[in-house]
């Protein structure tokens, strides 16, 4: 019996880790506070934050999501 040699698939590239520098793209008042749409200046990932009306500090209302592909 002979051992077959097959090429293994390369490991997927690990995402580049960095400290996100959030830039505000837009902000809108709502009944619960101000919704702020932000984007990382380096990698383009986006997130939605909520600044509550009660004066608490800004908190992420979503997890970071990748930017849509550009055409």
Rounded percentage of the chain residues whose pLDDT exceeds 90 = 37
DSSP letter for each residue of 27-44: EEEETTEEEEEEEETTT-
43-71 pLDDT per residue, tens? 999 999 998 887 666 666 666 667 666 66
Q: Are 39 and 22 in contact (CB under 8 A)?
A: yes
Per-residue tokens: 50: 């909520």
pTM of the model: 0.56
Cα 61 from Cα 70, distance rounded (Å): 25
């Amino acid at each position: 019996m002979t051992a077959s040699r097959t090429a293994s698939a390369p490991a997927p590239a690990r995402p580049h880790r960095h400290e996100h520098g959030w830039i505000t793209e837009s902000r809108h008042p709502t009944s619960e506070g101000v919704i702020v749409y932000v984007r990382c200046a380096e990698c383009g990932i986006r997130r939605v934050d909520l600044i509550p009306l009660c004066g608490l500090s800004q908190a992420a209302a979503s997890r970071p999501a990748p930017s849509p592909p550009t055409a």
